[in-house]
């Protein structure tokens, strides 16, 4: 049965988020976002800060109600949050009163309600081992660095055996060395587990290295899919191979060109939308760092 | 120039750093002890002792000494100054209950109260003593009694001597005052007589119409005024005389006190002998049993039905008597430490009642805005109500549940619980505990609601993604994350409860520190004012330690604090 949906594993159709505007029409932050993901595919969503990337992800996760449009996983429409769509947030979001092991166990208990204590324990240990935290199972979040905490967050998400893994700028708060480490950790796991993944990022290199396809979003309001770029590098990937590939810089150039165009188009776009809405709008700031 | 000056610094820094690292290698074990101690101090909230510990481990002695001087020595000097001011000012203020007691009197109140407690303990042990232990006790008490009695004879002699010696001193001090009083009296009398004759002559003149009536009334008025003034002067001298009389020389006072103390001790020893002898429980039981044996013999000897019946009846009665005496306990007088225990017990019962109500309702308030909206008017109206009002309401409302407290199953149950039975749970205690609960519930409730409603959104998202059920969400996320604020609320509650309890006990007459203060105020003995101030310190010190206990609890449950590890 599942084979039938492999090519259209996740279907996002006309996803729209509108916030009420007391002085005019609703403000549509994201409008008609469409995306179809194959099973096991890694898709990056890239765009300027504040363009609505995270809004898309939280809607897919079910943490943010969808204004209109629909979302289907494996041919079935889903709404509301659930462990089938695990999320790794930008901040690790660990529960500070629980040890690493207990944090992972919290999710495992929910997803394997019929497993025995020993089985659950083994699952937790397996995933903590995968992210390289076999030695830190009994430590508390406050005793660990940000990178280690994020590893726990990743282990917790993957231990749920989700159908879709949603990563919301998972490395945004880490230094670049830790970030590269964690990218490899995640790619390694994803190659093994073949989980369909959506990564929100604003790092061009990260997007190219990690994903099979890159979805470039236009600037908000009314942000939507601007362009989609296929990254045909084979998996598993080696960072050096990817960097050495002659196409790497083409991809990079394409992405940056798109983002720069968005930057220039921004002012006129915002003005146009404002005019249409006849309402004041918060100016978008922050320039993307490449 | 400036640049060059700065250049020198790094080398200095490296030097000091090196010397430090060498040191730490030598006593790494000492370091762990040191940091353990520092953490303990931090957790228990006694931050003041931090530099003391650091000084003991020779960490930057100069700095630590500075800190100790600033934050320990100066405050101690200040407190000492306050006590000194108290000692100087207090005796100058005369009240109906005597002079305001000074620190030494309050300190002696401590020892007096403690002695009372110890003596009650002795008498209780005497009452319960049996067989060989009883005999040992009798022997030792008799020995001390004999010693004390010889001591008493000597002291009596000494007291008589001192009295004679002091009488001379007192007389000497009184003589000039008495002379002064006498002189004043005669001079006043003379003046009054002179005025009187003046008035008489004037009145005659008025009759003869050589003087006006106005003059006469004016003269009368001035006469009254002068008389009053004379009385006032005499009164002042009389007061001085009284003062000399009521303040015997220190020597005499001390001997008198010692003699009184000894007399009381002898009386106590005699009472002990009584409890070891005739009033001892074992002794009383033995007497009752002998009586029973006699009755049983009579029963056996009886040969006619009427006599048999009467004998059987009296046997049953004496059996009952034996049982009753055997289950008697010593009728303890209330002492300060018993009252402290009872107050602590009451406040904890009230506090636990408050917590049991406040935490669940607080959680509900924090989770659901409708519940919050429902409870807000209730909280805001009842929070400011005075404990006195609550006490009266509870006396009426809760009192209705036990019309006959002696036979009510709750109190019967309480008197059968080992530890609690000695505290003598009674309705007054229940009212006090309810009052404490009523006043302590609000801070805990409000803080719990605040803690629950301010949970990190990220943590709630985790719960959403994991689809945790209500119970799991409560246990794993809501309660742990709100615990620090819950405990902060409980800490305030306990403080409020302790404060309210003293007033409630005083008003409801429930044995405890509050009643102690109230009784002291009512009985007006020579020590009672000192006892009240002593109780004030006891209440304060216990309140302080209760607060510290809650701080430690609060620290140990707050997850984001490293101190929680200790």
Question: Last residue of a domain, which of B33, B68, B90?
Answer: B90
Residue B308 domain-assigned (yes or no):
yes
Q: Dump the DSSP string for A133-192.
A: -GGGTT--GGGS-HHHHHHHHHHHHHTT--SEEEEESTTTTS-HHHHHHHHHHHHHHHHH
Q: What is the pLDDT of residues A89-111, one digit of tens each?
A: 888 888 888 999 999 999 898 88
In the DSSP assignment, the letter for residue A6 is S
Closest CA to A105 of A84, A89, A127: A127
8 A C-beta contact, residue A17 and residue A220:
no
Q: Are residues B286 and B266 in the same domain?
A: no
B516-525 contact pairs (CB < 8 A, 24+)? B516/B334, B516/B336, B516/B339, B524/B97
Which chain A residues are Cβ-neighbours of B480 within 8 angstroms? Answer: 95, 97-98
A89 and chain B: CB distance < 8 Å anywhere? yes
Q: Are residues B316 and B366 in the same domain?
A: no
B471 and chain A: CB distance < 8 Å anywhere? no
Q: Are residues B383 and B522 in the same domain?
A: yes
Q: How far, in Å, CA of B329 to CA of B158, rounded?
A: 41
**Mean pLDDT estimate for chain A:** 85
Q: Phi first, then psi: what are they for B214, rounded to 5°?
A: -55, -45
A93 and chain B: CB distance < 8 Å anywhere? yes
Q: How far, in Å, CA of B147 to CA of A12, rounded?
A: 102
Q: Are residues B516 and B386 in the same domain?
A: yes
Which chain A residues are Cβ-neighbours of B464 within 8 angstroms? Answer: 62-63, 81
By CA distance, what is A93's nearest residue in B?
A: B458
Check CB contact under 8 Å for A63 and B461. yes
Check CB contact under 8 Å for B466 and A93. no
A81 and chain B: CB distance < 8 Å anywhere? yes
pLDDT at B516: 94
Q: How far, in Å, CA of B18 to CA of B94, rounded?
A: 67
Omega of the bond leading into A236 within 30 degrees of 0 (cis): yes
A51, two tokens: 């363009």
B545, two tokens: 């330690």
Residue B115 domain-assigned (yes or no):
no
Q: How far, in Å, CA of A264 to CA of A266, rounded?
A: 5
Q: How far, in Å, CA of A277 to CA of A166, rounded?
A: 32
Check CB contact under 8 Å for B467 and A62. no
Task: Please tell me whether the interface predicted TM-score (ipTM) of this complex is above 0.85.
Answer: no
Q: How far is B466 from chain A (nearest CA, A)?
A: 5
8 A C-beta contact, residue A170 and residue A150:
yes
- The secondary structure element, H or E, covering residue B469 is none
B44, two tokens: 């228990």
Q: How far, in Å, CA of B118 to CA of B336, rounded?
A: 11
Classify residue A67 as exposed, middle or buried by CB count within 10 Å of its CB (0-12, 13-18, 19+). middle
Q: Are residues B150 and B174 in the same domain?
A: yes
Q: What is the pLDDT of residues A102-161, one digit of tens each?
A: 999 998 988 888 888 999 999 999 999 988 888 888 898 888 888 899 999 999 999 988
Binned at pLDDT 50, 70 and 90, residue A266 comes out as: low
Question: What Å distances lie between residue B459 and A61, B466, B478, CA to CA?
Answer: 15, 11, 9
Q: Domain containing B145 — which CATH number?
A: 1.10.287
pLDDT at B18: 41
Q: Are residues B251 and B302 in the same domain?
A: no
Q: Are residues B79 and B138 in the same domain?
A: no
Domains defined along chain A, listed by start: 1-34+58-78+219-247 (no CATH), 82-211 (3.40.50.300)
**Helix locations, B454-527, DSSP H:** 457-465, 470-472, 479-508, 513-523
Q: Are residues B422 and B480 in the same domain?
A: yes
Residue B471 domain-assigned (yes or no):
yes
Nearest to B465 among A81, A96, A97 (CB): A81
Q: What is the pLDDT of residues A72-94, one digit of tens each?
A: 988 888 888 888 899 998 888 88
8 A C-beta contact, residue A77 and residue A218:
no
Nearest to B467 among A83, A91, A98 (CB): A83
> What residues make up the domain containing B294?
280-326
Nearest to A107 among B458, B459, B466 (CB): B466
Q: How far is A144 from chain B (nearest CA, A)?
A: 12
Residue B98 domain-assigned (yes or no):
no
**Helix locations, B247-280, DSSP H:** 250-276
A&B contacts, CB < 8 Å:
53
Q: Domain containing B385 — which CATH number?
A: 1.10.3720.10
By CA distance, what is A166's nearest residue in B?
A: B465
8 A C-beta contact, residue A109 and residue B527:
no
Neighbouring CB atoms inside 10 A of A236's CB total: 12
Binned at pLDDT 50, 70 and 90, residue A286 comes out as: very low
Which chain B residues are Cβ-neighbours of A62 within 8 angstroms? Answer: 464
Q: How far, in Å, CA of B560 to CA of B550, rounded?
A: 17
Q: Are residues B290 and B373 in the same domain?
A: no
A113 and chain B: CB distance < 8 Å anywhere? no
Classify residue B42 as exposed, middle or buried by CB count within 10 Å of its CB (0-12, 13-18, 19+). middle
Question: Residue-wise pLDDT tens for chain B (566 aa)?
Answer: 344 444 444 444 444 444 444 444 556 788 888 888 888 888 777 888 888 888 888 888 888 899 899 999 999 999 999 999 999 998 888 887 778 898 999 999 999 999 999 999 999 999 988 888 888 888 999 999 999 999 999 999 998 988 888 888 888 888 888 999 999 899 999 998 998 888 888 888 888 887 778 888 888 898 899 999 989 998 988 888 888 887 778 888 888 888 988 999 999 999 998 998 888 888 889 999 999 998 888 888 888 888 888 888 888 998 999 999 888 888 888 889 999 999 999 999 999 999 999 999 999 999 999 999 999 999 999 999 999 999 999 999 999 998 888 888 888 888 888 888 888 888 999 999 999 999 999 999 999 999 999 998 888 888 888 888 889 899 999 999 999 899 999 999 999 999 999 999 999 999 999 999 999 999 877 788 899 999 999 999 999 999 999 988 888 887 765 443 32
Q: How far, in Å, CA of B61 to CA of B64, rounded?
A: 5
Q: Dump the DSSP string for A83-137.
A: TTEEEE-SS----TTS-HHHHHHHHHHHH-TTS-HHHHHHHHHHHHHHTT-GGGT
By CA distance, what is A160's nearest residue in B?
A: B466
SS3 of residue B100 by DSSP: coil
N- to C-terminal Cα distance for chain A?
43
8 A C-beta contact, residue B347 and residue B440:
no
Q: How far, in Å, CA of B145 to CA of B270, rounded?
A: 8
Q: Are residues B79 and B181 in the same domain?
A: no
A234 and chain B: CB distance < 8 Å anywhere? no
Which chain B residues are Cβ-neighbours of A93 within 8 angstroms? Answer: 458-459, 461-462
Residue B96 domain-assigned (yes or no):
no
Which chain A residues are Cβ-neighbours of B562 within 8 angstroms? Answer: 142
Q: Are residues B353 and B268 in the same domain?
A: no
By CA distance, what is B561's nearest residue in A?
A: A142
Scanning A123-142 for CB atoms below 8 A from B yields 140, 142
User: Which one of A62, A80, A88, A93 would you mutate to disrupt binding with B, by most B Cβ within 10 Å of its Cβ?
Assistant: A93
Name the range with the highest mean pLDDT among A18-22, A195-199, B4-8: A195-199
How many C-alpha atoms does B124 have within 13 Å on its Cβ side? Answer: 14
What is the dihedral sign for C-alpha B235, B237, B240, B241? negative
Q: How far, in Å, CA of B529 to CA of B106, rounded?
A: 9
Closest CA to B252 of B149, B148, B168: B168
Q: Is A50 left (phi over 0), alpha (psi -120 to 50) or beta?
A: left
Which residue in the block uniquely carries the two structure tokens 């990563």? Answer: A167
A23, two tokens: 């002085």
B467 and chain A: CB distance < 8 Å anywhere? yes
- The secondary structure element, H or E, covering residue A70 is strand A68-73
Structural domains of chain B, count? 4
pLDDT at B334: 85
What is the dihedral sign for C-alpha B499, B505, B511, B513? positive
Residue B47 domain-assigned (yes or no):
yes
Q: How far, in Å, CA of A187 to CA of B171, rounded?
A: 107
Question: What Å distances lie between residue B380 and A281, B36, B393, B484, CA to CA?
Answer: 41, 44, 19, 23
- Cβ-proximal residues to B136 (8 Å cutoff; 6+ apart), any chain: none
A2, two tokens: 């599942």
Q: From the DSSP assignment, how many helices (H) and strands (E) are in chain A?
A: 8, 10
Check CB contact under 8 Å for A81 and B559. no
Q: How far, in Å, CA of A87 to CA of A157, rounded?
A: 6
Q: From the DSSP assignment, how many helices (H) and strands (E) are in chain B?
A: 22, 2
Residue B84 domain-assigned (yes or no):
yes
A63 and chain B: CB distance < 8 Å anywhere? yes
Classify residue B466 as exposed, middle or buried by CB count within 10 Å of its CB (0-12, 13-18, 19+). buried
Question: Last residue of a domain, which of B90, B120, B149?
Answer: B90
By CA distance, what is A60's nearest residue in B?
A: B465
Residue B428 domain-assigned (yes or no):
yes
Q: Are residues B464 and B506 in the same domain?
A: yes
8 A C-beta contact, residue B388 and residue B435:
no
């Amino acid at each position: 049965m599942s084979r039938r949906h492999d090519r259209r594993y996740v279907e996002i159709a006309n996803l729209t988020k509108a916030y009420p505007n007391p002085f005019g029409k609703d403000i549509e932050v994201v409008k008609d976002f469409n995306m179809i993901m194959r099973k096991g595919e890694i898709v990056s969503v890239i765009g300027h800060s504040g363009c609505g990337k995270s809004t898309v992800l939280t809607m897919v996760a079910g943490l943010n109600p969808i204004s209109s449009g629909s979302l289907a996983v494996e041919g079935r429409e889903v709404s509301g949050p659930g462990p089938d769509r695990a999320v790794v947030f930008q901040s690790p979001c660990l529960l500070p009163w629980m040890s690493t092991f207990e944090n992972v166990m919290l999710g495992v208990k929910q997803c394997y309600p019929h497993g025995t204590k020993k089985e659950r324990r083994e699952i937790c240990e397996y995933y903590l081992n995968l992210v390289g935290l076999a030695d830190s199972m009994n430590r508390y979040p406050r005793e660990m660095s940000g990178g280690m905490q994020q590893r726990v967050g990743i282990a917790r998400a993957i231990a749920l055996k989700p159908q879709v893994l949603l990563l919301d700028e998972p490395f945004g708060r880490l230094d670049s060395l830790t970030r590269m480490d964690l990218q490899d950790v995640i790619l390694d796991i994803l190659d093994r587990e073949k989980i369909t993944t959506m990564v929100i990022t604003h790092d061009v290199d990260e997007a190219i290295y990690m994903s099979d396809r890159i979805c470039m979003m236009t600037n908000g309001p009314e942000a939507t899919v601007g362009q989609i770029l296929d990254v045909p590098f084979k998996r598993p990937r080696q960072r050096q191979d990817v960097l050495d590939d002659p196409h790497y810089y083409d991809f990079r150039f394409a992405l940056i060109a798109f983002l720069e165009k968005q930057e220039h188009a921004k002012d006129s776009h915002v003005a146009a939308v404002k005019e249409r809405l006849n309402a004041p709008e918060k100016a978008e700031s922050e320039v993307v760092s490449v | 120039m400036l640049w060059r000056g700065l250049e020198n610094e790094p080398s200095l820094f490296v030097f000091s750093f090196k010397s430090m690292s060498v040191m730490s290698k030598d006593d790494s074990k000492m370091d762990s002890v040191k940091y353990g101690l520092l953490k303990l101090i931090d957790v228990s909230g006694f931050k003041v002792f931090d530099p003391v510990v650091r000084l003991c481990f020779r960490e930057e002695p100069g700095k630590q000494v500075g800190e100790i001087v600033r934050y320990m020595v100066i405050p101690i000097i200040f407190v000492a100054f306050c006590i000194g001011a108290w000692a100087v000012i207090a005796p100058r203020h005369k009240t109906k209950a005597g002079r305001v007691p000074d620190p030494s009197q309050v300190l002696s109140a401590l020892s007096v109260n403690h002695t009372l407690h110890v003596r009650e303990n002795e008498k209780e042990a005497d009452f319960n003593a049996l067989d060989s232990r009883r005999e040992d006790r009798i022997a030792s008490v008799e020995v001390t009694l004999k010693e004390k009695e010889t001591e008493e004879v000597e002291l009596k002699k000494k007291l008589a001597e001192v009295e004679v010696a002091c009488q001379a001193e007192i007389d000497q001090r009184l003589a000039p005052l008495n002379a002064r009083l006498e002189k004043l009296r005669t001079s006043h009398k003379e003046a009054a007589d002179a005025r009187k004759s003046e008035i008489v002559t004037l009145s005659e003149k008025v009759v003869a119409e050589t003087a006006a009536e106005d003059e006469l009334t004016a003269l009368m008025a001035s006469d009254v005024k002068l008389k009053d003034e004379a009385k006032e002067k005499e009164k002042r001298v009389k007061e001085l005389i009284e003062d000399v009389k009521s303040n015997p020389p220190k020597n005499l006072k001390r001997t008198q006190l010692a003699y009184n103390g000894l007399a009381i001790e002898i009386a106590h020893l005699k009472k002990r002998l009584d409890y070891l002898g005739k009033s001892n429980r074992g002794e009383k039981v033995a007497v009752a049993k002998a009586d029973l044996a006699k009755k049983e013999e009579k029963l056996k000897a009886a040969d006619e039905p009427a006599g048999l019946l009467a004998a059987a009846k009296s046997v049953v009665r004496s059996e009952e008597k034996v049982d009753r005496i055997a289950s008697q306990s010593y009728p303890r007088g209330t002492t300060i430490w018993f009252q402290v225990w009872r107050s602590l017990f009451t406040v904890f019962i009230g506090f636990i009642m408050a917590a049991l109500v406040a935490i669940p309702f607080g959680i509900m308030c924090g989770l659901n805005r409708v519940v919050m909206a429902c409870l807000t008017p209730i909280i805001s109206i009842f929070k400011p109500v005075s404990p006195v009002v609550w006490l009266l309401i509870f006396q009426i409302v809760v009192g209705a549940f036990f019309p006959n407290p002696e036979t009510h199953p709750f109190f019967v149950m309480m008197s059968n619980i080992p530890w609690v039975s000695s505290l003598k749970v009674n309705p007054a205690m229940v009212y006090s505990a309810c009052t404490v609960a009523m006043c302590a519930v609000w801070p805990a409730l409000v803080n719990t609601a605040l803690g629950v409603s301010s949970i990190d959104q990220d943590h709630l998202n985790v719960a959403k993604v994991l689809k945790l059920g209500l119970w799991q969400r409560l246990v794993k996320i809501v309660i742990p994350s709100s615990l620090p604020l819950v405990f902060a609320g409980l800490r305030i509650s306990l403080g409020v409860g302790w404060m309210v309890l003293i007033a409630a006990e005083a008003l409801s007459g429930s044995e405890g520190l509050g009643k102690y203060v109230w009784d002291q105020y009512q009985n007006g003995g020579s020590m009672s004012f000192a006892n009240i101030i002593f109780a004030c310190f006891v209440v304060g010190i216990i309140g302080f330690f209760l607060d510290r206990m809650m701080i430690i609890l609060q620290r140990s449950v707050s997850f984001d604090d490293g101190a929680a590890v200790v």
